[in-house]
Structure formats: structure tokens, C-alpha cells
Amino acid sequence: MRTLGIDPGTRVMGYGIVDAVGNSLKHVDNGGIFTDSADPLNKRLKVIYDEICGIIQQYRPDVISIEDVFYHKNIKSALKLGHSRGVAILAGTNAGLDIFEYTPTAIKSAVVGYGRAEKGQVQQMIKVLLKLPEVPQADAADALAAAICHINTAGTTNRRKMNEMR
């Protein structure tokens, strides 16, 4: 299963692609979609949409795992985050992909084992789990963590279903 993980944002949207090969994880690619904060929001959202569509076309993921909205003290930031999530979800939906949403706490728990882990801890664990030569950029690490969270969750769900069928 190939999973595209997404860490939403309007300034930087992280993405990470991870393959599940048996019980192993294989890093495929990661990076960030950068927009110019001086541009109007609609233009930034189009950049994000077009880039996500290109990533989907290039890497052909089976599913998308995206970080869910979390509470922001600044409501305007939360709304912009929701817009960026929306265009990423639309890109995946238009490509016929299933979309899975996970809270930041669930993602951190799945990767680090602690839902309130710091960004640096997530980055270090991603480096170890995916055997990367260096620590990934923070937004890309969060996206890779979202992908790993889904792979782990899907594997647990599938094993549970198989046990129930026995």
C-alpha cells in the first residue's frame, strides 16, 4: 500500500509518500509545497491544489492520510488551515482516492508513542523508522508521520478483521 501523507498549511504544505511492504516501511519521497504569503489566498490554494494533483499523478498513491484540524487560538489561521486541507482532500477525491483523517495526537502516538511529542522528536523518529540519511524538514516529517499513522492503523484494523473472521 502506498500512502500519501499530508501536513496541511497555506504557507507550507508538507507531503510524504511511504510504501508498506509486508511489515516494513519504505520511504518514497517527501517535501513541501511552498506558497508566497504575499499572494491572495485563492492563488495560494490553487498552487497547493495543482501541486497535490501533480504528486498524485507522479506517485500514484493508494490512499491519502491527512492531519485533521486542531484548535487554534487564532480563528483566522484555523480557517486558512481548513481551506488548505479542503483543496488537498478535493485533489485526492477527484483522483478517486480514499481520504483518512487523523488528529495530531493520534499521529504523534502512532509514530513516537506519545501524543504530545515535540516536532523534533517526530523528526528524529521518522529518520529512524524510514532509515533516512538526515532528519526531514518539519512539515515533511509531519506528513510522513501522517502516512505512517495510517499504515499502522490500517494494518491493525485489517488484523482485527481477520481475527474476527476466524
Q: Across the chain, which distance is largest between two alpha carbons, in Å?
A: 58
Q: Is 101 labeled as catalytic in the residue annotation?
A: no
What is the residue type of 73?
Answer: K
How many angstroms separate the Cα of 131 from the Cα of each of 10, 73, 126, 141, 152?
29, 36, 8, 13, 17
Q: Is 139 labeled as catalytic in the residue annotation?
A: yes
In the set 29, 50, 62, 67, the catalytic residue is: 67
CA distance 132 to 26: 10
In the set 51, 139, 142, 164, the catalytic residue is: 139
DSSP-based three-state secondary structure for 132: coil
Residue for grid cell 495526537: 105
CA distance 134 to 19: 19
In the set 7, 39, 62, 101, the catalytic residue is: 7
Query: Which residues are known catalytic residues?
Result: 7, 67, 139
